[in-house]
Structures are given as structure tokens and as C-alpha cells.
Amino acid sequence: MTNRIAVITGANGGLGTAMTKALAAQGRKVVGTHLPGEEAQANDWQANLREEGIDAAIYALDVTDFDGCKAFVAAVEQDLGPIDILVNNAGITNDAPLKRMQPEQWNQVINVNLTSMFNMCQQVFESMCERGFGRIVNISSLNGEKGQFGQCNYAATKAGIYGFTKSIAQEGARKGVTANSVSPGYIDTPMVRQVPEKVLNNIVAGIPVGHLGKPEDIARAVAYLTADEANFVTGTNMSVNGGQYMA
């Protein structure tokens, strides 16, 4: 089936937009989420996609709010139908060396990047199992694989995604539900382009392929893992980092 409903959290960012286009190209009905308060940006995102012939829905959602996630899924199911594909893409950073990191910084990143996985997956997992089909992709990070100075909170969440993903993959394996993760390296997004030029040049120098990745590189990985035919790939991580970290 091509007309499956796919939810992408944090869809109105650079990676989320590329994922939306890739899944729409597969014939998926894409539903994105954005942070509450970003309605104007979300409306622009939706309008820009419509100019390209993509009719994607978008809802405001705080992924750290369990009851809010439950209400969001219920609204999507009522408006469009059951969710077949879930891409947990929403994430933040709030960096500091361990000695200066505040509990608020730790908790904020844990809640947005990791607790959100539980909040979203629990809402759709049982229904996917009952219908005999589901694709879950959780977006991790290169820094979850190798760690990063000043990012113990962020790296912990992104590493935690691996254990979470492998565990639910085992629960869904015989019921047609796959769960995988994708770990992007440094991708050419507006956020990365804000890094000082000297720092950015040093980053690129450490990437064996010699350049930043593109959002479309991540989107292609997500499209592959969410394909109907990808039923033999579950519980794994796909590193898309230009060879910067080879596990």
C-alpha cells in the first residue's frame, strides 16, 4: 500500500522537511508536528510544500507531554485514519560541560529527545501490532554513537534510543511491526551553517567523504526503513555520517 499515514515529529525543520518530501514521493499521507507557538512557521512550511504538489497536514504538539501525544494520535486517527508509520525526529540540544550543566538542561534534553520516544510509540504500537503492519524510525545521532564534549545529556539520549528501539523491535517482530534508528552525522542544515566557519571547516576535515551530508541523505534512509518491503530489517541502526564514525 502507498496511501499509508506517516507521522513525522519535528517535521518543519530541515531534516523533517526532506523526510516529508521523501515519504510523500512514496505515496504516503504525511502528518507533521511542530512546537506549539510556531504556527506561522508551520503554515509557511505547509504552503511551500503545497507549491510542490505535496499536501501534508501539520499539528502542534509538545512531544514531552504524554497526554498531549495521546490526544494528538486520537485526532489524527479521527481526521485521517490509523497511523502506519512513525518517525520520531523531534530533538533539541542544550549543551554544557558536565561541571556546568544544570539539572534543568539535563531534564529538558532527556524529555524532548528520549521520553518523547515512549510518549509517541506507546500511542501507536498496539494498534500497529493489531493491524499487522507498522514502521517506526527513531532519529538518533552520530554523537550517540561516539559521544561528544559538552553533550553528555544529548549523547545519553541519542544512545538511549538504540536500546529503546531494539527492545520494541523484539516486541513487534512477529506482528509485522519493525523499529529501527537512523544516526545522522553532520548535515548541511541552517543550524549547522550557523557554526563559525573555522569550526565548520574542522568538522568537514574530519569527514572521510570530504563534505557535509544533505537532508536528503537522511530522508532516503528513512524512506527505505519505512517501506512496505523493508519487513526483514528491524532492531538495527543505520549510520549516515560520511564515514566519520565507523562502528
The DSSP 8-state label assigned to residue 10 in this structure reads T
- Selecting among 59, 154, 162, 186, the annotated active-site residue is 154
Instruction: Name the burial class of residue 6, with classes exposed (0-12), middle (13-18) and buried (19+) by CB atoms within 10 angstroms of its CB.
Output: buried
Q: How many CB atoms lie within 10 A of CB 81?
A: 12
Least Cα distance to 183 among 209, 217, 207 occurs for: 217
Least Cα distance to 221 among 48, 30, 87, 56 occurs for: 87
* Residues composing the chain: 247
Residue-wise over 37-69: b if at least 16 C-beta within 10 A, else e? eeeeebeebbeebeeeebebbbbebbbbbbeeb
- Under a CB-based contact definition with an 8 Å cutoff, are residues 134 and 84 in contact? yes
66-79 vs 116-131: helix crossing angle, rounded to 10? 40
Is 245 noted as a catalytic residue in this protein? no
Q: Which residues are catalytic?
A: 154
